[in-house]
Amino acid sequence: MVGQLYTRQQVEHLIQLVKKGDPASLAQLRRELGRTQKEVAAKIGISEYQLGRWERGEQQPTGKYYTQWKLRLSDYVDNIIAVLLGTEDGNVITQFWELMWGLID
């Protein structure tokens, strides 16, 4: 899904995966965003091997790294939202997330 336009349903689906936040959902989100384990692992500061273990449920990430994992993937979704909204204004994107959290349960 890299470099394409996203539909409302696709964006809602990506946000649902972020919201779930479990390792399987985050692995699916990474794949759907077209990001490699190597790319995401580098952003988190861990090895590709370690990220693969998390995604397969072989090991649980610690709090700090788990938070970083979710944030890095959320950053990719933020970029999609910025394109859809036509702005990179952080306040607008924050308001969008607040609205989405309220609408998607």
Quote the domain boundaries for residue 34: 8-103
| pLDDT confidence of residue 47 | 95
CA–CA distance, 89 with 57 (Å, rounded to integer): 36
- Asked whether residue 3 is assigned to any structural domain, the reply reads no
Residues near 51 by Cβ (< 8 Å), separated by ≥ 6? 37, 40, 41, 44, 69
Is position 1 within any domain?
Answer: no
Q: Is residue 49 part of a domain?
A: yes
Q: Is 56 a member of any domain?
A: yes
Residue at 25 is within a domain: yes
70: CATH: 1.10.260.40
Residue found by looking up tokens 């190597």 in the block = 38
The structural domain count of the chain equals 1
Report yes or no on 79 lying in a domain.
yes
Kindly list the averaged pLDDT for each block of 10 residues, start to end, along the chain of length 105.
Answer: 70 85 92 93 94 94 88 85 83 80 60
Is the separation of the CB atoms in 54 and 60 below 8 Å? yes
Examine residue 37 and state whether it is found in any structural domain, yes or no: yes
d(C-alpha 60, C-alpha 73), whole Å: 17
Please state, in angstroms and rounded to a whole number, the distance separating the CA atoms of residues 69 and 50: 12
